[in-house]
Amino acid sequence: MPAQRSRTAGWRHCLNQIRDRRGSIELAVRPSMDTPGTAPRGDLLFRARVLGLEDGVIRVETPVSLGQPVEFVEGLELVAIIAVGQNRWMFHTEYLGPDQKRSLEGVPGMRLSAPKHVERCQRRRDYRIDTADLHLPDVRLWPLLEPASVIPAERLTAVDFERELDGMCGDVAPSLDEDLMPTIGPEYAGRIVNLGGGGLGLAVGVEDAGVIGRYANWWIQFELLPSVVTPVRVTARVAHRHLRSDRSLYCGLCFDFSQNPSHRQVVARQIMRAIAGLQRRQMAVRKAG
């Protein structure tokens, strides 16, 4: 009889392959179980370069967003994703603290507990395993026809976010008046797959995949509820794109602050506030038992 091989048996080999090729895994704060009536949750995936696997510990570079390292609370439970080609494994892990070793580039690292078992995802777009169902944020995006026209909208977003920090915004996302919208084309839709150091990875459905390559500059908007009420509104450029096996499109977008450099800090603070909120939520649920 032919040998029966587990479909999750090769994850260690794949992780070592990723390390040898200086590749990355993806990390998300393990979501707390939602209850009826709670606000929608926007989970975030971060790319973290693999440095090594030793003594039951996975060593990775600390994820960075817009130049700011992502800070995790020791003991925080995370969901990790290993992807090689069409194969994808997800597993639970725990943040064990900073790594004393650094990468060849001098980037600080962090230590994660190696999993006792992993679960194989059957579909490329599936981000669900036992006790972890990730809800990745949807994105609205428009071709940006006049880059300088984003300045009023970005400045108003900064004002709205400051009012939110001062407790003056409430729980309703502030809208943007039509006359303050940049000069844009028709609206399209996507979903954030991961956040990188200077932008994000976006999945675009088959119906909109063909239009992405026609424009270099885009105006994008996404929400990071419930921790951040003010939508993230920012200019982005297409850095690379890749047609996937299901004919959907993966594209890397690089945030562009050339028209309004001060907006970089606003977006960075929104992202960091969302990450901190996800961690507080998990810790509060765990403390409550």
One domain, residues 218 and 232: yes
Contact 278, 29 (CB under 8 A): yes
Neighbours of 137 (CB within 10 A): 21
- At 258-283, the pLDDT tens digits run 999 999 999 999 999 999 999 999 99
- pTM of the entire predicted model: 0.90
Question: Is residue 77 domain-resident?
Answer: yes
How many structural domains is the chain composed of?
Answer: 2
One domain, residues 206 and 188: yes
Question: Is residue 6 domain-resident?
Answer: no
One domain, residues 197 and 254: yes
Q: What is the CATH number of the domain that holds 90?
A: 2.30.110.70
- For 149, the token pair is 């026209």
Alpha carbon dihedral 115, 198, 254, 209, in 10-degree steps, equals 10
Contact 75, 65 (CB under 8 A): no
pLDDT of 5 reads 46
Q: Tell me the C-alpha distance between 78 and 57, whole Å.
A: 14
Question: Is residue 1 domain-resident?
Answer: no
pLDDT of 11 reads 79
One domain, residues 150 and 124: no
One domain, residues 275 and 151: yes
One domain, residues 100 and 157: no
Beta strand pairing status for 217-224 and 132-133?
unpaired
One domain, residues 76 and 58: yes
Question: Is residue 4 domain-resident?
Answer: no
Q: Which of 133, 151, 166 finishes a domain?
A: 133
Q: How far apart are the first and last CA of the chain?
A: 48
One domain, residues 126 and 171: no
Beta bridge partners of 18: none
One domain, residues 228 and 127: no
Contact 145, 139 (CB under 8 A): no
Q: Give the residue numbers spanning the domain of 16.
A: 11-133
Query: Over the chain, what is the mean pLDDT?
Result: 88
- For 13, the token pair is 């080999």
Q: Which of 133, 151, 168 finishes a domain?
A: 133
Question: Is residue 164 domain-resident?
Answer: yes
Inform me whether the pLDDT recorded for 34 exceeds 60.
no
- For 242, the token pair is 């890749």
Inform me whether the pLDDT recorded for 25 exceeds 90.
yes
Q: Over range 127-155, report the average pLDDT.
A: 88
Question: Is residue 5 domain-resident?
Answer: no
One domain, residues 169 and 283: yes
- Residues 6 or more apart from 225 whose CB is under 8 A from it? 39, 40, 41, 42, 173
One domain, residues 272 and 190: yes
One domain, residues 145 and 270: yes
